[in-house]
Each structure stands twice: as structure tokens, then as C-alpha cells.
Amino acid sequence: MKTLSTLSARGRELLGTEHAIMGGAMSWVSERNLVSALSNAGAFGVIAASSMPPELLDKEIKATQALTKKPFGVNLILMHPKLEELADTCIANKVTHVVLAGGMPKAPLIAKLNGAGIKVIGFAPTVAIGKRLIKMGIAGLIIEGTEAGGHIGPVSTSVLAQEILPEIRDVPVFVAGGIGRGEAVASYLEMGASGVQLGTRFVCATESIAHANFKKAFIDANARDATASVQYHPDFPVIPVRAIANKASDDFLRFQKETVEKVFAGAQTKEEGQLAIEHFWAGALRKAVIDGDVERGSLMAGQSVGMVQCIQSTQEIIDELVSQASYYLSAKQAA
């Protein structure tokens, strides 16, 4: 008999948790309070290191360790200029898991983390990249579809799952993007996933420090409100960002236009312009999450935002997901 426990056994073993549910690393939101709440609820919290300097990450890890004795991870962005120092910070604090995001990691970094006893998890947008990461020593993979919030790829979760889950069995694979209910969790486990990752669903958790205005915007939104950003100029590629449409969405398009014009006028180099465009969202996100400016700030959200209907404790959200998944599996087998 297929149960939630048996289907998620590999994922739970890798994470060291009761449930194979990872919290997506969301800048400004996935900090000590939400991360520890997720881990204490039997799931797996992940600190979003984002653009933190090493000393700030050190404080965040220690603060999280003071709030939970259960496993949690740290998400490191590969383009961070002090990536090696951030890795050293994780090693010094005896972090058990590191999630590498935002590009293709180098083998020496994975080897360094593995050598310190850290389990490394990476993102696989294709089967080929997934297999390459496994050869480099990755312990687990995340496949994330375009339905997710924040920076997104071009392929839907359901298609990625069909492409990758039958082909990769060497390590546990976690599915992410557009997951808001337990039935979806169970379905992906049945397809061969070892667990899932959710971000948007936890933004409105009681323990989330996101501003009340930010949470209200999530509760009021529906799936079609979470749209992907538009690229202004073909010579200035940007990774699309999915967020609830507001004035910031228009501002980003306008900012791209102004930046491109500066570059063509010689006022900026192309590299400076590209960097400025990439940095736009970091400031806009803080404006919304921390300051509560839901008009000019970025409301990064996945399309599952339509399933966020109220403020609940993290434990209640986890219990709800588990209950839905378990009922789905038992009802299916009883039919």
C-alpha cells in the first residue's frame, strides 16, 4: 500500500525530517522565524542568504539554531561575490544542508561542502544538468517549474516532472512550482518525486515577518494575478520574475528602457546596465516585504497564490498539506 510516509521516505531521509516538504528560499521572508517554524513543524526550513555578507549570514544561522534543534538548510546564490566565504560560514556553523541556486555550481565547491559533511542540493532544469550534478556529488535535486514565484525558468512544473522524474533515480528529487495543496504533493510523489518545495504557501504563515500589507496582497490575489516580467530589449536578457502585477511591474519595464537608453548613449557600460537591471528586484522586494509598499514594491509570488486564503500558523499549513495528501492517497486506493 502506497502511503505518504513510504512515498516520501527517501526525501525525509535526506532532509532528516518528519515530512519531505522544503520551504522555498524567499529573500527577506525566509529568515530565522519562518525557517525555524518550518523545521519545528516537521518540514525543512531554508534560509535565503541572497545578497547577505558572510557576517550577516553567520548571525542568521546562529539565531535560527537558537530557535530550532531540527535540521534546516541555507540557500546560497552562486553569483554572490563572496560565495566561498558564505560556504565557509555554513561549514563553521555546522549547517547540515546547503542549497545551491542561480546557476551551475563548480565541482570544487560541492566537494568542499561534502568534505565538511554537508549535504548539497541543487536545481536541475534538464535531465542532462541533473545527471551532471549527480556526478559532481550532489545529494538531492530540485526541479522548479515556471509557475513558481520570483526568478523563473520557461518550462512548467508538470512538464519538468514528466521529463526528469522517470530519468533520475540516483538521488531524491523535489518538485517545486505551483504547489498549494496536498493532493498535488501526493501526485508528484506517485510520479517518482521524493518530496516537494513550497514557497508562496508559507508567506502568510503567522511566523512570517512579511508586512501585513504584503500578506493581504497574497490573500486577495488569484492565480492569474501572478504574472511574469517582460524583457524590454533583446540585447539585455533578463531572467523573468513572477510577481503579483502592480506598479512595480510597470516600473521594471520603464527602468529597463531608461537603462538601455543610458547604455546606448554611452553613459553606462553594457555590463553596468545589465547589473542594474538585475539588481532592480532586490530593492523592490524589500520595499514590499519589509516596508509594506505593495504598490511600488515587488510582490513576488507563484501562481499558487490563489490558494493562499488566510493567515495560518506554519504548523497548521503543514498539517493541512499532509492531511490532504494522505486523504487523497487513501481515497484513491479505497476506490
Beta strand 226-228 with 241-244: parallel, antiparallel or unpaired?
Answer: antiparallel
Superfamily of domain 4-209+308-334: Aldolase class I (3.20.20.70)
Residue 335 pLDDT more than 80?
A: no
Backbone angles phi, psi at 300, to 5 degrees: -60, 125
Residue 150 pLDDT more than 90?
A: yes
Full DSSP string of 198-265: ESGGGTTBTT----HHHHHHHHH--GGGEEE-----TTS----EEEE-SHHHHHHHHHHHHHHHHHHT
Residue 136 is predicted with a pLDDT of 98
Mean pLDDT of 89-93: 98
Mean pLDDT of 256-276: 92
Residue 115 is predicted with a pLDDT of 98
3-state secondary structure of 297: coil
User: Distance between CA atoms of 75 and 124, rounded to whole angstroms?
Assistant: 15
**Are the beta carbons of 247 and 296 closer than 8 angstroms?**
yes
Show Cβ contacts of residue 93 under 8 Å, excluding neighbours closer than 6 positions. Answer: 58, 61, 62, 65
**Are the beta carbons of 200 and 206 closer than 8 angstroms?**
no
Residue 274 is predicted with a pLDDT of 85
Mean pLDDT of 105-119: 98
Mean pLDDT of 106-126: 98
Residue 282 pLDDT more than 90?
A: no
Residue 130 is predicted with a pLDDT of 98
pLDDT band of residue 299 (cuts 50, 70, 90) is very high
Mean pLDDT of 264-276: 91
Question: Would you kindly state where each structural domain of the chain is located, as residue ranges?
Answer: 4-209+308-334, 222-300
Residue 332 is predicted with a pLDDT of 86
Residue 78 pLDDT more than 90?
A: yes
Residues in the chain: 335
- For the beta sheet containing 45-48, the strands, ordered from the edge strand earlier in sequence to the opposite edge, are 21-23, 195-198, 173-176, 140-144, 119-123, 97-101, 72-77, 45-48
Residue 96 is predicted with a pLDDT of 98
Dihedral (CA of 217, 223, 229, 230) sign = negative
Residue 237 is predicted with a pLDDT of 86
Q: Tell me: the pLDDT tens digits for 152-164?
A: 999 999 999 999 9
Q: Tell me: the pLDDT tens digits for 21-57?
A: 999 999 999 999 999 999 999 999 999 999 899 999 9
Burial class (CB in 10 A: 0-12, 13-18, 19+), 227: middle
Residue 208 is predicted with a pLDDT of 98
73-92: string of b/e by CB count within 10 Å (b at 16+)? bbbbbeebeebeebbebbbe
Q: Tell me: the pLDDT tens digits for 307-321?
A: 999 999 999 999 999
Residue 278 pLDDT more than 90?
A: no
How crowded is the C-beta side of 276, counted as CA atoms within 13 Å? 18
Query: Would you give the DSSP letter of residue 139?
Result: S
Residue 1 pLDDT more than 80?
A: no
pTM score above 0.75: yes
Backbone angles phi, psi at 260, to 5 degrees: -60, -40
User: Distance between CA atoms of 232 and 281, rounded to whole angstroms?
Assistant: 15
pLDDT band of residue 276 (cuts 50, 70, 90) is confident
Residue 266 pLDDT more than 90?
A: yes
